[in-house]
Structure 1
């Protein structure tokens, strides 16, 4: 297991420690539960395609931050509608840029296999 795998495997443990430490030292339990989102986010951050996955993470972080701090849960859900729009406009650019990177050569059969 590489360093990436070790970090991903340790994330639930570290998130629990952070949650308990912040909760017991400050007494603020309610917004501290957000640290458990790191369990879902860390594998994406450590992936090779993080730039392409960063927009939905930024939208989610914005929604949660403004929802907790300003209580704007209802009107703010609309920002999630921008995620498909983002992929409609920028998805083809990303696929064209990475098309050459997604080809694998099968040496036994001497043919190219396109990996999605």
Structure 2
């Protein structure tokens, strides 16, 4: 693909107020692939060309300036998929290979899992939506409880403000379960809430500070547990955004 066509793809994307990441999500490819198209380092395949034309509501000829459309489709017949592949090393035992709209997660060189980037991105977006919804519900619910207790109890206003500290805890539980990662649980926030509540109600400020000593213990245990847990989808997400940061 020539530089003129690459520039046109870039201009069309910007004209529709899309970032490379947003366009990649709509097409079900990696952000790296879109970046390579716009730098004339590789070419979108025929299916992606058709998707781009439909997305921008123009014909294939308009997308690629006439004859270039035919030559590019022919060119795609001999494009090697390996040209788009990039290896991202997450840790000593995990690496992810991103290529086009496919991703492979390799654990210890003997356990390979193949995934589709589009499906993984949809999975990630679904969790984000649920997380934001739970966070909003928590904020509304805890605020409502605080107001009710404040108006009905003598010490309601001064004793129940710790409820606001608890707001991120439910969403962290959702994230922990959905992403299968106990490290995402906001244990520190829960510990602080318990400390404040028992301190205000029972004046246990002094002996109860030891609850904070459990925080590093929790993180240590969580880290040990996660060493033996794998989540291929989350590994692809981590590699995907790491690749974006490296390109930037």
Using the size of structure 2 for normalisation, the TM-score is: 0.36
Higher helix proportion: 1
Change (3 A) 1:79 1:94: same
In the alignment, what sits opposite 1:11? Answer: 138
Change (3 A) 1:80 1:115: farther
Q: Is the 1:103–1:115 contact (alpha carbons within 8 Å) kept by the matching residues of 2?
A: no
> Matches of residues 1-116 of structure 1 in structure 2 within 5 Å?
2-27=129-154, 28-49=156-177, 51-52=182-183, 53=185, 55-98=187-230, 100=232, 102-104=234-236, 113=239
In the alignment, what sits opposite 1:108? Answer: none
Using the size of structure 1 for normalisation, the TM-score is: 0.65
Change (3 A) 1:63 1:89: same
Number of aligned residues = 109
Q: Is the 2:169–2:189 contact (alpha carbons within 8 Å) kept by the matching residues of 1?
A: yes
Q: Match of 1:92, SS? A: helix
Give the Cα–Cα distance (whole angstroms) in 2 for the partners of residues 16 and 86 of structure 1.
29
Pick the structure with greater CA Rg. 2
Q: What are the ranges of 5 or more consecutive residues in structure 2 without an aligned counterpart?
A: 1-127, 243-248
Give the Cα–Cα distance (whole angstroms) in 2 for the partners of residues 100 and 115 of structure 1.
14
